[in-house]
Structure 1
């Protein structure tokens, strides 16, 4: 049987969402590990002030493609952009391009979606459901199609605690919902959205569940596979450890914590943080495309691409590793971020009231003081605005950081068993091998290098800045104690008596422990 690289040799592949985070990694992996692939047709929409060609050119200049560039300086010739707009009828693909695609495409990877949790329902439906339906219609016209792989999310059915690798009945029939909302005003849709999505936390998970059902409806006409990744994070191994290019999900949390801005977060320390490296998802996606085309399963196979049931890691552990990486200034293997606002120190709690207390004390009060300083110095205040945006983003993550799910992964294990030994190495998605502390450490470095574009040679200066912040904190605490003494304690005989009693009690305890340690020796 042909290996994965041999299968993709000579094939024409179409990719949606190729300029996004996962799409870029998919393009890079195909070009690097399947060098004989014939062509990659990527659907791209022009952005304001930037043409389709400019967007693709900028994408290929990305550091992500350095290894491909070394192997094949002309790799860009295999990338063929197709102008498209997912919110338009027929995806706004020209008749000439439709004819071109239907005549040559062998494999479709549908990665495009809106991943905003607070996306208005109508827009989320357009991008995640209606665009998927139109892409399926286009796929049915493709004369040589061998596999259609849809990227969903492990949280499409997050209203369930145990999630099998099956398509569950949708909360509503997608076509009926689309027809019902078509005539409604945005304000009306906004009002009824909470009742429509029911026990799901947001429009993202709701519309991804509808999209899965739409894909399943075509399984008798198309060779289909569905990938369900959990929280997609930085790369584990490929093309190099820690590559990330956005602030989404854990990346924003790591950066905010590393800068000393995020001091508290509502989460369950013992809940599994189901992170999945992006290269694991892409390797599984390519393997699923190969298996779907070669074995032709009778029904659409679903692959739960998660880590919690195989190699669990918890939110409390993530915070500990992240803080060690970003807040330690006296260790050679620490990598703090530049110009931290405060020395990194995050508190995780599942209690709402305690979290609100820490937000007031550790976020809003320092932000108010800093903004007051900026006003007095003639500058524009900004910290309160930053903290408000941070609180909004963190609140959207609370649902996922406060509870656990169980995902079955039989299909993922089955697919791994179908791979030849060489393919298991080249397209590795075995998360049992993942060392979490090492991965989180590389993730933190990745946010520093690739998202914030900070120079690693400036780490000694960043460590020195943390020392300065520590000294400022000690000075402030000392002055605060002196202030409390002078204002509250020194003026009251009762307060002084209590103070002296506490201090003498501390000295007695110290004397007792010193005597005990002497006797032990």
Structure 2
């Protein structure tokens, strides 16, 4: 039985993980992405004595790095931190914003900024990457492979480097049905791939992409495997760790349960089904994917840094951060839980159709359902919108859904398992306070409550639907239920009528035909 500690007893215990970052400078790439935002928030909230965060930020949409960071710090994710520290400015004071781009030569750094990184950096956390599965190969190579090579070169020149952490993915060696915590040969020579992509134009790259990818389904898996290989190659020269998270999903516990800034992964699936635009999926419903809440992975990053730097655990070089060894949620369980939450607890606004549909094990059956319940309604609604003078949208939405299904089906109809011995062993070194404040286990996880938090957060922060609209959404859901029942009754009535047109002549043909009158 686990011992229970009071708040005073926990506060008296040391926080050795926060102490690891005390008076140290951390260089972070990808700090404005989904994972990077949660990392920056956790470092600033849990490590008040951190010397500085050197943050690589590129100019985007006419905004300077400082303007982009101010926008980020005003996000609801940082509300708790802003309250603790007294606003945005004290947070900016802990940051050194460096203008650059991980996809550009030399990371787009000025000589002065590069020298500053070399002089001041103690820890590097390289999280910048494109996570688009359909990204053009050249763009993916420039960011995921060449960008990693340039960060490794930077790490080799840092004068006070204690550790470089590279964020890979558990889904980059897809030919391995059991991914162990060890390096694997890359699918190609990363140095040659970088060189070839630098001189080839987009048309040539597009032509050779199928040959390069071979059996890999997309550019993401290919380039992440190459980037990981570059870090493994440099481990003899620099202190480096490769972390492989599985599918990173919204926050579980802190600072905002369910928070995310995108609709990738299961969140998008639940929203699409909840809005009524996803009615059929080709999927093995009893299979499962490996998911990892982003706050759990960020805790894992900080724990690994502590183990490597302070405890000198040198065999912690490649760590799989996965969850399926402790908890498995099948696709059907996830969809059923999401459907119940959206129908009864957290309905969405503007539902196009009552949430329903199912997962199909037959490709033919799925394709028929796609035509009947995806494409035909979309075309009918778009025609109506066009007649009324509005811009048609549903067919465009269905094309995006189909594109997403191409990726979705590969991962849902294949199964992988992951070894996570090192990640589970690391927990044993934590004291009770650290186990609570840097949670990396599934103890206390309520799947239904977690999905409810995800849907509610997506409703608030992505769909911009306020909580005061929930009662109206419930009423609308009841109306859509009635419409759905009427549609089903009409559909089956038409089917029976159509079948009777075939069945009646079949039976009538067995009767004795009436003789024609003899002409006089």
Tell me if TM exceeds 0.5.
yes
User: 1:402 pairs with 413, 436, 443, which one?
Assistant: 413
Q: Distance in 2 between matches of 1:302 and 1:130?
A: 21
1:38 aligns with 2:25: no
User: 1:452 pairs with 436, 442, 463, which one?
Assistant: 463
Which residue in 2 is equivalent to 1:207? Answer: 223
Q: Distance in 2 between matches of 1:294 and 1:491?
A: 79
Change (3 A) 1:277 1:484: closer
User: 1:252 pairs with 261, 268, 284, which one?
Assistant: 268
Q: Deviations over 1:56-107 (max 9, x none)?
A: 0100000001111111122231122100012222111111111211111111
Answer with 25-34 or 479-488: which moved more: 479-488
User: 1:388 pairs with 399, 410, 413, which one?
Assistant: 399
What root-mean-square deviation, in Å, do the aligned CA atoms of Structure 1 and Structure 2 show? 2.1
1:494 deviation in Å? Answer: 6.2
Q: Deviations over 1:276-315 (max 9, x none)?
A: 1000110001111121212334456111111112211111
Runs of 5+ in structure 2 lacking a partner?
1-13, 509-520
Runs of 5+ in structure 1 lacking a partner?
329-333, 498-521
Which residue in 2 is equivalent to 1:64? Answer: 77
What SS class does the counterpart of residue 431 from structure 1 fall into? coil
CA contact (8 A) 1:223 1:300 kept: no
1:367 deviation in Å? Answer: 0.6
Q: Distance in 2 between matches of 1:480 and 1:113?
A: 47
Q: Deviations over 1:466-496 (max 9, x none)?
A: 1111222333444556667788859996699
Change (3 A) 1:477 1:313: closer
CA contact (8 A) 1:263 1:363 kept: yes
User: 1:415 pairs with 405, 426, 430, which one?
Assistant: 426
Which residue in 1 is equivalent to 2:175? Answer: 159
Q: Distance in 2 between matches of 1:373 and 1:98?
A: 57
CA contact (8 A) 1:367 1:383 kept: yes
Q: Distance in 2 between matches of 1:376 and 1:492?
A: 39
Matches within 5 A, 1:232-311: 232-298=248-314, 301-311=317-327
Which residue in 1 is equivalent to 2:122? Answer: 106
Which residue in 2 is equivalent to 1:376? Answer: 387
CA contact (8 A) 1:3 1:420 kept: no
Answer with 468-477 or 483-492: which moved more: 483-492
Q: Distance in 1 between matches of 2:408 and 2:179?
A: 20
Superposition TM-score, scaled by structure 2 size: 0.90
Answer with 41-50 or 68-77: which moved more: 68-77
CA contact (8 A) 1:219 1:300 kept: no
Q: Distance in 2 between matches of 1:302 and 1:485?
A: 60
Which residue in 2 is equivalent to 1:88? Answer: 104
Q: Distance in 2 between matches of 1:77 and 1:398?
A: 46
User: 2:156 pairs with 140, 160, 180, which one?
Assistant: 140
